[in-house]
Structure 1
C-alpha cells in the first residue's frame, strides 16, 4: 500500500487520499464565481461554460481547467477592444 492509500477503520475499504483534490462540484464553483448552479448547468448544456465531467449524476470541474477557461474569457474580451467604434 502506498502513502496515497489507506484502509478506513470502519469499513475496511481503501480510500484514496487526494484523488479528487483538484476537482470541485458545480455548487462550489457557482459560489466561487458568484453565479447560480443552474446557470452553470445551462452553460454546460450549451457548451459555453468551463469544461466539466460527469460521474453518474455528479458534475465536477477541474480547478486548472476553470482557470484556463477564465483566462480564455479574458483574452476574448481584450481581443475585441482593438476595433474602432463606428
Structure 2
C-alpha cells in the first residue's frame, strides 16, 4: 500500500535534493532549517544566516545563496572536527 502524497513536499527534502526554482520566503527558510521564523529574522539582522534581499517590503532568498550557505556551514563544521 502506498503512502498518500501531501500537496507540498517536505522542505527539508527539497533542500537536500535541489531547491525549488523560485525565490524562498522566510517561512520556507524556517521550515527547511526547523527553526522559528523569528530566528530567520535574527540571522538576517546579525548577518549570520543565508543572505536575503528585499522586493519591496518582502524578504526573499535566492536558492543558490541558500545552497552556498549550507555548503559553507558543512565545510566549516568538517574543518572544525
Give the number of the structure whose residues are more often helix, by fraction: 2
Q: Does 2:55 correspond to 1:55?
A: yes
Number of aligned residues: 61
Q: Structure 1 residue runs of 4+, over 4 Å off?
A: none
Higher share in strand: 1
Q: 5+ unaligned residues in a row in structure 1: which ranges? A: 1-20, 82-86
Q: Counterparts of 1:32 and 1:80 in 2: how far apart (Å)?
A: 24
- Within the alignment, does 1:38 sit opposite 2:38 as a pair? yes
Following superposition, the deviation at residue 22 of structure 1 comes to: 2.6
**Higher relative contact order (CA closer than 8 Å, sequence separation 6+):** 2
TM-score by length of 2: 0.70
Give TM-score scaled by structure 1 length.
0.66
Larger radius of gyration: 1
